Structure 1
Amino acid sequence: MKTPTIKINGRCIGSNEPPYIIAELSANHNGNIETAKAIIREAKLAGADAVKLQTYTADTITLKSDGPDFQIRGGLWDGRTLYDLYREAHMPWDWHRPLFEFARSLDITIFSSPFDKTAIDLLEDLNTPAYKIASFEAIDLPLIRYAASTGKPLIISTGMADAEEISEAISAAQEGGCTELAILHCVSGYPAPAADYNLHTISDMRKRFGLVTGLSDHTLDNTTAITSVALGASIIEKHVTLDRNNGGPDDSFSLQPAELAALCRDTKTAWSALGSIDYGRKSSEVGNVQFRRSLYFVKALKAGSVITEDCIRSVRPGFGASPKMLDRILGCTVTRDVLINTPVLLDELDFG
């Protein structure tokens, strides 16, 4: 079966390629466009493939209400209204063009998560190379269809979605015209404990849906993301900040630049280590073959002498006959004089 791939901005993404690392900027700009630019710069320096924005306003994502339905209870944002949280966290729309231009000047891919049709229209005007549908929007099938209708590659995060809802989101994307689709296993907790991730789900998603599959990771370190590569994750998305202690809405569960650099390095190492099924001798082993065990004479023998058990031993190094030949060699005679501590050589034996 053909291995599924997608391509974003010329970069092929799939199981036969190194993991595609997305640095999620989210709300970590903390209201300062220069902070946003600094995060993009650090993402490039760390080796990320892409940086991702979020395109919404408080009015495009929720309603201005302090009613009980719109109050956040518990968790990281306890006591806030949805409107106030998103008003603080959103990225002004007039920042998008300068940030897209800045990322392109650094040669790092930039795209965004749209949260309504007007956001898609804005991003189309900026010629975004791809779209990411956030987990909370994965059930908004009209939004998915509209994003898919652009013909751009589409990544759908699946936090909170069950298998049926994931299938519906995939169908909506494909019905909308998307031909390059990826899905991300995700746990929509902020932060999320590693034990909630059940990473074996990634392997099942790959088989069940037949798409490029990755991980949107909200744990506090890189262990979960690196492990996911061994189970087939081709895309890794992590929130990134300049300083986890900056006090912004998403700072506390985001990677700092050095941690992002480690993620880029270590996921690629993990992918490289997977390789292919290969029982052959590896290049790094060649020089050590000589140190395997082999048969050596532990007594000096005259030509014509019979080889008995007390004459030879299996020892290191490996210049003599293989130890598996021991039973055949016992009872043979030597065809020349042999010295103690010399290798047993098959062409110097008479097997009768």
Structure 2
Amino acid sequence: MEFQIGQRWVGKAHKPFIIAEMSGNHNQSLERALQIVDAAAKAGVDALKLQTYTADTMTLDLHEGEFFIADENNLWKGSSLYQLYQEAYTPWEWHKAIFDRCAEYGILAFSTPFDELAVDFLETLNVPAYKIASFENTDIQLIRKVASTGKPMIISTGMASIAELDETVREARKYGCKNIVLLKCTSTYPATPENTNISTLPHMEQLFNCHVGMSDHTMGVGVSVASIAMGATVIEKHFTLSRADGGVDSAFSMEPDEMRSLVVETERAWQSLGKVYYGATEKEKDSLKYRRSLYISCDLKVGDVLTKDNVKAIRPGLGLPTKYLDQLLGRKVTKNVAKGTPLTWEVI
């Protein structure tokens, strides 16, 4: 079930596939966008991802009612949807420059299209894969359009019910997508660990017979690292040069040192999974000699009786196992034995 995105493998036999999501953290500066690529590559990510839309393809230029964000708990309170997307969008004419910079570093670049025109545009750039955002995971026309390219699809599952995901996955496969990754996602910004429910990952993997991962909006690396143990093969995190610089997504984005930590720690988590195994590994065998065992703790002569005063359970482990102590007490030694001699059956 493993597959490739570009030259990178996705699957449990390979280290986690890490995506740095630039989103709107370029703050409308191409120079900053390229600096974000530089920092992402230095952090060791596998891919950098953009979002491809315009304010006009996302919503209407209205600034009241349901088109205005008034929720006190919303990160973007006080903006209209149109204003928000104007501030956050990545100019389409920047895409090639950003993708070219990624290619210079040998990291992959692709994007999230939000409409069919964006898919056509991204096809001219020969992207190796597509990402579907949580808010578009029920947009069946978009799913069909992206699937028809035949390229891998990485789909965030925020808010989606099992029935909705079933329809999305069925349509994607029907229209030509062979390789799908479903990302567990909580569509709050930032998300909390308590509201993340990564126990869903193995269930989702089994239910839809595909790879799973995380689109992680929590702070820090803990949730992403834990998700590797639950079967995640792909991790996506929003990325910025500095949260202090501001921007539409900066509050829940990772900084370069944090992204580097994510890359390192998720790979360590993956390496640690291994297989079901008991007993000493090859690397542990040298340590067996430091187990606790039975030793003569003072000089003894022929005929002396073993007691708790002259037999000790100590390290190292070259004597008899400590479980034999009760059987040995009261027995006589058959030869002179020096203090520090491992106790064996031959001396009694």
TM range (shorter): over 0.9
Distance 1:340 1:221 in 2: 55
Distance 1:66 1:309 in 2: 87
The answer for the alignment partner of 2:35 in structure 1 is 38
Which letter does structure 2 place at the counterpart of 1:60?
Answer: T
Distance 1:228 1:159 in 2: 16
Give the counterpart of 1:24 among 21, 25, 38.
21
SS in 2 for 1:65: coil
Which letter does structure 1 place at the counterpart of 2:54?
Answer: T
The answer for the alignment partner of 1:175 in structure 2 is 174
Q: Which whole-Å deviations, capped at 9, do the CAs of 1:300-325 have from their partners, x for residues lacking one? A: 43345554555423222212111123
Which letter does structure 2 place at the counterpart of 1:10?
Answer: Q
1:204 aligns with 2:206: no
User: Would the aligned equivalents of 1:6 and 1:181 in 2 still touch at CA under 8 Å?
Assistant: no
SS in 2 for 1:144: helix
User: Shift in Å at residue 132 of structure 1?
Assistant: 0.4
User: Shift in Å at residue 112 of structure 1?
Assistant: 0.3
Distance 1:299 1:258 in 2: 57
User: Shift in Å at residue 333 of structure 1?
Assistant: 4.5
User: Shift in Å at residue 8 of structure 1?
Assistant: 0.7
User: Shift in Å at residue 73 of structure 1?
Assistant: 1.9
User: Shift in Å at residue 82 of structure 1?
Assistant: 1.2
User: Shift in Å at residue 67 of structure 1?
Assistant: 4.1
Q: Which whole-Å deviations, capped at 9, do the CAs of 1:264-310 have from their partners, x for residues lacking one? A: 11111122122222213135534432221111123443345554555
User: Shift in Å at residue 326 of structure 1?
Assistant: 2.7
Distance 1:220 1:343 in 2: 54
Give the counterpart of 1:15 among 12, 15, 27.
12
Segments of 5+ residues of structure 1 without an aligned counterpart are: none
User: What is the correspondence of 1:140-159 to structure 2 with a 5 Å cutoff?
Assistant: 140-159=139-158
Q: Which whole-Å deviations, capped at 9, do the CAs of 1:156-215 have from their partners, x for residues lacking one? A: 000111121111111111111111110000001111122110121112212222211000
Distance 1:235 1:277 in 2: 23
The answer for the alignment partner of 1:271 in structure 2 is 270
SS in 2 for 1:334: coil
Q: Which whole-Å deviations, capped at 9, do the CAs of 1:19-54 have from their partners, x for residues lacking one? A: 111000000111111111110111000000100000
TM-score, normalised to structure 1, is: 0.93
Distance 1:305 1:191 in 2: 73
The answer for the alignment partner of 1:131 in structure 2 is 130
Larger mean Cα displacement after TM superposition, 125-134 or 314-323: 314-323
User: Would the aligned equivalents of 1:296 and 1:314 in 2 still touch at CA under 8 Å?
Assistant: yes
Distance 1:98 1:266 in 2: 31
The answer for the alignment partner of 2:320 in structure 1 is 321
Give the counterpart of 2:67 among 50, 54, 70.
70
Which letter does structure 2 place at the counterpart of 1:198?
Answer: N
User: Shift in Å at residue 343 of structure 1?
Assistant: 1.1
Distance 1:63 1:175 in 2: 32
Distance 1:41 1:127 in 2: 21
Which letter does structure 1 place at the counterpart of 2:255?
Answer: Q
The answer for the alignment partner of 1:5 in structure 2 is 2
Segments of 5+ residues of structure 2 without an aligned counterpart are: none
How many residue pairs get aligned? The number is 346
Distance 1:140 1:179 in 2: 19
Identity %: 45
The answer for the alignment partner of 2:342 in structure 1 is 343
TM-score, normalised to structure 2, is: 0.94
Distance 1:85 1:129 in 2: 28
1:58 aligns with 2:52: no
The answer for the alignment partner of 1:102 in structure 2 is 101
